[in-house]
Structure 1
Amino acid sequence: MTTSHKQSNKNFTLWPYAVVVCMVLFMGYIASFVYKAMNQDVDLVSKNYYEQEIAYQEHIDKVGRTAAIGNVAITYNEQNRSVLLQLPETLKGKQVKGKITLFRPSDDQLDQELPLQLGRDMSQLIETQDLERGLWKVRVNFNEGEQTYYTEKTIQLK
């Protein structure tokens, strides 16, 4: 009788322990994933997002007026690392004021705002040597008298 009792102790299996260890490891992985997700910094693209959403119809009107006056060209010159802004000739001789915003979607700390300072040929050259390489949006808000205008172009600084 003692031999059969010794044989039953030799049939010990690790399967239940392995299943428990796998479940504990999986729960630990899920818990660490949830912890990282909860501590992820999530910023809105813009600090005053909701106010901008309310004013969206005005923005659509600005874009429509800009298309009506002619082509506003924003071109990036990779060799000179500069952006050339060219307003249409229909605005020549008129009092045009505004601002240029260099917007970095991935980091709002890098955004820059410049005054619109057009030359006689209705153009302005913007140097980009000091800007980080990557995706930028050039946004131009300007007005002539009571009419407001807006245009935007995405560029890739290399």
Structure 2
Amino acid sequence: MSKDKKLKEKILKAQQDGDIASLYVLEQQAHDTFDEETLQSFYANILDLALERLTQTLEEHRAMDMNEVQDFATLRALYEYAIEHYSAGESNDAAALFEVLSGLSNDEKFSNAIKLHWMAAQEKISFDDFLDRIADIEATQRAGTFYISEFKQEAQKLLDNMKDKGGKA
């Protein structure tokens, strides 16, 4: 059996099992093996599974647990989806997604970081400006998180500005 066929079988099994974490484990292999169109389908499947888990979580009135592998992978997929919107200039959609994400996890550090994303998108700060002025990419890389978790001093100004406007900072 070819490597390509084996990989497709592994991906299909993970999809059938609703196993987002396994799909992320197979991500590099998918990048090395598939063309752009197939990769888009791969990520669309991850997103579909994440949206199903989001719906289920909301219906159960529970918070996602960063220590539970499927919840972690779901939060990552939803975060990447929100970032995709933000980087495409769709700040209203991104803000709505970040708002939901900020209340979805039991991890306070994640929730607080996502609130800053939400506020920046709400304030129509471009994604590039967010990366340049607010996010601390080097510190985030050192922290090893899948999300932008470290911020520059400018972030405090954003928080203060939202508080002054009577926002939920």
TM over 0.5: no
Q: Provide the TM-score with structure 1 as the length reference.
A: 0.24
Q: Indicate the structure whose relative CO is greater, using CA pairs within 8 Å and at least 6 residues apart.
A: 1
Greater helix content = 2
TM-score (norm 2): 0.23
Which of the pair is proportionally richer in strand?
Answer: 1
